[in-house]
Amino acid sequence: MLLRLWSDEVEAMRAEARAAVEAGIGMFSPTDAAPGLSRDERVRQQRATMPAFPAPEAIERHIAGVRCRTFLAADDRRPRAVYLQLHGGGMVAGSPEVMDFPNRELTREHDVVVVSPDYRKAPEHPYPAGPDDAYAVAEWLVKHAEAEYGTDRLVIGGESAGGYLAALVALRLRDRLGGALDRVLGLNLVFGVYDWGRTPSQRGMRPHQGPDILSPDGIEFVTDCYLPGRTDEERRAPEISPAYADLHGLPPMLLSVGTCDHLLDDTLLFAARAAAAGGDVELFVAPDMPHAFFAFGCAITTLWAERLNAWFERVLGGDEG
């Protein structure tokens, strides 16, 4: 049986995708260290590359002690679910405001409430601070979303480090809060990091050597900030790296990644192990596309957006009654 990671339709889109990446990659700052920068200077530099774009419709509130940005469904509709969205930034940078406008559009498109936490970041707050914050918000939603927002149904997702946190939160809900995972309709895992022991692609051994906004040096830096003093093997503990966890019983999931992404192997490993454990797994691989591929407008990213919206509609399943 021939294993194909994308269709003939996507194959025909590759030249346009390469041109879009070449034209747009300069928007992103490299993750390699500038000579002579201290750790703290480099952290400040990385944080400056992820500016906030606040949307006026966002509501600020604290949930389980964590600052969150929330977007409510239209007043005349009962929300179909709450989407717990976890932002990216390598566990050292980023904020919920980075995804304000996509989160607002998701609310409008699918009639969901979006909750996006500002979890704590390394190096000031290394593991497990960020996962603890994300889980605390998820646990609160399991217990209070029905009373607060009018629905007890959840979808969990995120991009890059947020995809990692989404997977970790789902595993914690399964293992710590009996029956809670039954309320989670799906996991939207977008180019996440699932092996903090550094997969081959994280180390630079990618199947495609096209441009990327990540680098082995940048990944090693944020890993050392987030998990200081641990060996690669220690970083692969299942409670840290979801790729090494028991993946049975997870809800339907959509995993997305580009072939130039230094996190490609993380998605392929997690998707294959989750499918082998009997999971409902959809995999979208974008050839020639880097990390944060959805920032590069082309036919492939348009197709991905269509797949994402179709997946949301599938897991939401119409009116929940």
In this structure, what CATH number is given to the domain that contains residue 80? 3.40.50.1820
Give domain status of residue 114, yes or no. Answer: yes
Number of H helices, E strands in the chain: 10, 8
Query: Active-site residue 291, yes or no?
Result: yes
Q: Is residue 274 part of a domain?
A: yes
Instruction: Please report whether residue 321 resides in a domain.
Output: no
Give me the count of residues in the chain.
321
Do the domain assignments include residue 75? yes
Kindly tell me if the per-residue pLDDT of 321 is higher than 50. Answer: no
Domain range for residue 218?
A: 8-316
Q: Which of 87, 95, 110, 160 is catalytic?
A: 160
Q: Is 3 within a domain?
A: no
Give the chain's radius of gyration (CA, Å). 19
pLDDT at residue number 29: 78
User: 115 - beta bridge partners?
Assistant: 70, 84
| Active-site residue, from 118, 195, 261, 266 | 261
Using 50, 70 and 90 to split pLDDT, how confident is the model at 76?
low
Within-domain flag for 1: no
Provide the pLDDT confidence category of residue 24 given band limits of 50, 70 and 90. very high
Q: Say what percent of the chain tops pLDDT 90.
A: 91
Which one from 87, 110, 262, 291 is the annotated catalytic residue? 291
pTM of the model: 0.96
Angstrom distance (rounded) from CA 128 to CA 120 = 9
How many domains, the chain? 1
In a domain, 2, yes or no: no
